[in-house]
Amino acid sequence: MKKSFNKTKDNPAGWQIEYKKADGKTNDFCFHCTECGVIKYYNICGVPELSKYCNYVDYIQGKVFGLGMRNPHNIGQGDAVCEEYMKRGRKTEVP
């Protein structure tokens, strides 16, 4: 994951995202994003109203791979950052 994130960090249309290891309580690993490539793309295409759906694929992946994803902060829903917490054995609940 770190390799993938490092490839996007210098692309102005990409993400500014950091991978973090487990905190021992809420996650096995997590992502902290300050710039989202999906939101940038929606804005370029003139459809910012789709931003609140920016991470629907993350929920699908969370369910399929049993990652127990939680997304308490989301740029597309007006937060300053996007954070996704993954914890195996926890259910991924889709909002």
Domain enclosing residue 20, as ranges: 2-86
94, part of any domain? no
61 neighbors 94 (Cβ within 8 angstroms) = no
Structure tokens at 16: 């500014």
- Summarised one tens digit per residue, pLDDT across range 74-91 is 999 999 999 999 999 999
91, part of any domain? no
- Summarised one tens digit per residue, pLDDT across range 14-35 is 889 888 888 888 899 999 999 9
Domain count, the chain: 1
- Summarised one tens digit per residue, pLDDT across range 51-72 is 999 999 999 999 999 999 999 9
Burial of 55 (0-12, 13-18, 19+ CB in 10 A): buried
SS3 call for 35: strand
32, part of any domain? yes
H or E element that contains 60:
helix 56-64
pTM, entire model: 0.85
